[in-house]
Chain A
Amino acid sequence: MRNPLIILAFLSCLIFQSHAEVKQSNTQLTVEQRQLAFDDYWLTLLYYQKSDYTDSYESFVDDDRFFFAIGGKFNPDAELQANIDTFIEKPEFQCTFPARKKWLDKHLPSIAAHFPQVECKKYNEWRKKLNTESVVLVYAASQLNSPSSMYGHTFIRFDPYDVEKHSTYLSHAINFGATVPENASNFSYALRGLAGGYPGRFATNPYFEKIKEYNRAENRDLWEYKLNLTAEEVDRMLTHVWELQGINFDYYFFDENCSFRLLELIDVAKPGSKLVDQFPGVAIPIDTVRVVRDANLISEVHYRPSIRTDLENQLDSLPKDHRALAIQLSKDINVRETTEFKQLDKAEKQAIVHASYRLIRFLHNKDERSKAVASRSFKLLKMIRKESDIKSVKPERPLRPDLGHDTTMYSVQLGESNEHAFADFTYRASYHDLIDNIPGYDNGMSLNMGEVVLRAVEDSLQLQKAEFIDITSLSVRNDFMTPMSWMANVGAERQWTEGDDKLVARVSGGAGVSYEPLKFDRVFFMLTGRLEYNQGLDNHFSVAPGVTAGYLRTWQNSKSIITVSHYEFIDDLSRTVYKFEHNWSLSKNHSLRLHAKRSDNNNVDYDEFGVSWRGFF
């Protein structure tokens, strides 16, 4: 990448100037200067990671356009030299990488003095348009019915000066996500998206598009954590964000995901913060929020409820018969002509009409457009306009998700099973089950990955259970919504078969319905299916249809669940399990749990009791 012009300049120096001055006009770095390439900030700017075992470096960026040196992805100092050469040879690249330019100006002023002056029109326009004064980390909370969004999502928002007096609709969001090609419309693409075959890229959008996407389309609450960055730090972040335009990273769901990349941006803004170093393995979005919080980077938190949260709150705030009226009105505009509606006072009418309008909007958000619905909602809109001064009731702010229990769990349990005492040691990589401490989490959602239970019984230690994934989603049906509840489970567990407890592998799933008979309680019923690999059975692979029903109760500081599940195997074998579990929350990260279980198998019926102590970290 050496520039012939530079060499020429260098030669001319040799001829026309004294030897002493040669070095100064040279842009070839000295050995000392080359050491700057291992400066923390240069490494951060180019996403270099040092290997734990060898002395080698590798950048996270998987895109040749990000490097100028051949093999620059693995070579910070060659890359430093190549950047300098390029900034001189092709000055327009100073505009592509303004953060590097700025850093070079500061740390190698004698070299940077050789950079030709350029005007970075596009970049300056972009900065002007963003007009950023503050930066907000936004957490899109998990959503019950979509398994993939259960872990939540984070992105960053850039706010202009004095945004409180204006509208965050006009702020801009920067999001890191996988780029799915437009013609990608088959299963293999879906698979690649999860397993990490797509390039990940940063994209910026107006914030109102994000609001529409999360608050409206996906029914997810947004939590806006304002960062207390200084003007200089904000400037550093933006300067660098521009460099990421169109640059590909590999996208991986677990580690190199949306949240991880954002921490890198904060590290760029705040040299030395090293937030990225806190995630050697998995970066769960809410944990990254915690890391930012613990680094004292959050100055205020704003809650933006989803359209559904808003709507449910609005309908709940109506008296029961008014709620029914609002729902009827959204289906039939003639309800407004009934005496029941007409006799209400103005304020009551306002509340009903507004809720009704919001309801029709919510219900038809995902539908094909229909003339009838448009016409009906327009009539409601005109009624709203007549009854001006409508204030919607804001939902109460729930506990901040970052203040909920931590995501990794370990527990110790003592108990008795089939008249043998046992001790269980459990590790669960993530994240939350139906009766874990609820504050900060979505009620009725259970998402567990990577759980291992070791059981000490008599003189032996055995693998009792290994859960790869275990999801339960109890979405409540009510007078205006009819979502499905479902469960899915892949793993291995001990199962009494032929008088022996064998480790069996199984995949199970189910779908059904849940209702909320009392506030925060759930009663549910599901049809299930189970595929089991069990060497103790005649058919090693066995299939069993089944049913599961249960009741989940929420108390002041605890939760209980009673479930009954029954499976009827094709091998003329049946199993029924009755289970009661209760979880007392001791503190944010500790709980005490009790369980009692009766298993009726064809030839072995047994009982089990246990008390466990659970800790989260």
Chain B
Amino acid sequence: MKKILISAVLLTASSSAMAVAPGGPNCGWGNMLFEGQTGTASHVVASFTNGSTFNNTFGMTFGTNGCSTQGSLTYGGKEMIDVSLIMDEFTEDVARGDGEAITAVAVSIGVEEQDRANFKRSMHDNFDKMFPSEDVTTEHVVQTMFEVMESDEQLAKYTVAE
């Protein structure tokens, strides 16, 4: 098969991997939301080669970019979605009371279909508790989420480790 060579036009700088945000105490909601992206040139290279993840993960672990808190967010030995990775979408969904991200979180912690509307409403009603300021961390958000669930008759059962 022929290999057609093409030359690189318009490419100048680095193709460094995805920017990794600092984790830890300063990794608040404000920071997470506007996670820095790569520069234009690397963006171009990435799209040409379609090599989107440079650490070529094959396993089913969730990524560790952004303000990942992976490891601290399992409960009952069960792996749940790393909320920090979808924090942007999740936050808006909680504020609105619906959306794909909040559904994904509900599904990942095992909330059955019939309880999901209630889950979303509870999160929405407790927005101020979950997100007290723009410096809130994922840990706080997730912990408060479980507290809210525990205090809800229908949702409490999902917070008990199986």
Contact = CB atoms under 8 A, between A and B. Distances in A.
A253 B47 contact: no
Contact of A194 (B1, B48, B91): B48
B95 interface: yes
Residue of B7, B14, B46 with most partner-chain A CB within 10 A: B46
A557 interface: no
Given A167-B104, A256-B1, A205 B53 contact: yes
B1 A361 contact: no
Interface string B1-35: 11111111111111111000000000011110111
Contacts of A177: 49-52
A253 B48 contact: yes
Contact of A172 (B3, B35, B46, B60): B60
Interface string A163-202: 0011111101001111111101111011101111010011
A180 B104 contact: no
A203 B101 CA distance: 23
Interface in A111-146: 126, 129-130, 143, 146
Please classify the interface of chain A as helix (H, G, I), strand (E, B), loop, or mixed, using the class held by over half of its residues: mixed
B30 A165 contact: no
B54 A190 contact: no
A195 B15 contact: no
A204 interface: yes
A181 B49 CA distance: 12
B33 A176 contact: no
A374 B134 contact: yes
Nearest to A182: B17
Interface string A567-601: 00000000000000000000000000000000000
Contacts of A203: 52-53, 56-58
Nearest to B10: A147
Nearest to B41: A190
Interface string B30-73: 11011111000101111111111111111110110000000000
Contacts of B103: 166-167, 169
A134 to B, nearest CB: 16
Given A130-B60, A147-B10, A194-B7, A180 B45 contact: yes
Q: How large is the interface on A (under 10, 10 to 19, 20 to 34, 35 or more residues)?
A: 35 or more
Given A180-B45, A255-B4, A365-B34, A126 B51 contact: no
Contacts, number: 228
A373 B134 CA distance: 10
Interface centre among A129, A177, A390 (most CB of B within 10 A): A177
A300 interface: no
A187 B11 contact: yes
Contacts of B28: 374
B5 A384 contact: no
B14 A186 contact: yes
Interface string A205-220: 1101110010001100
Nearest to B97: A388
Nearest to B101: A169
Given A146-B44, A169-B100, A179 B54 contact: yes
Contacts of B74: none
A378 interface: yes
A73 interface: no
A389 interface: yes
B33 to A, nearest CB: 6
A370 interface: yes
A176 B91 CA distance: 31
B7 A208 contact: no
B115 interface: no
A366 interface: yes
Contact of B34 (A167, A186, A190, A373): A373
A364 interface: yes
Contact of B43 (A186, A218, A256): A218
B50 A208 contact: no
Contacts of A195: 5-8
A587 B37 CA distance: 42
Contacts of B97: 388-389
Interface stretch (B81-89, B137-145, B150-158): B81-89
16 contacts: A179-B56, A180-B49, A190-B8, A193-B15, A203-B58, A205-B53, A245-B58, A246-B56, A252-B3, A252-B4, A253-B4, A254-B6, A282-B4, A374-B31, A385-B124, A488-B9
What 4 pairs across the A-B complex have the smallest Cβ distances? A374-B30, A178-B49, A169-B104, A177-B50
Interface of A: 49, 126, 129-130, 143, 146-149, 153, 165-170, 172, 175-182, 184-187, 189-191, 193-196, 198, 201-206, 208-210, 213, 217-218, 245-246, 251-258, 280-282, 354, 357, 361, 364-371, 373-375, 377-378, 381-382, 384-385, 388-390, 469, 488, 490
Given A147-B10, A177-B52, A194-B7, 15 more contacts: A168-B100, A169-B81, A180-B15, A180-B54, A184-B15, A185-B15, A190-B44, A194-B48, A195-B6, A280-B1, A361-B33, A381-B131, A385-B124, A390-B96, A490-B9
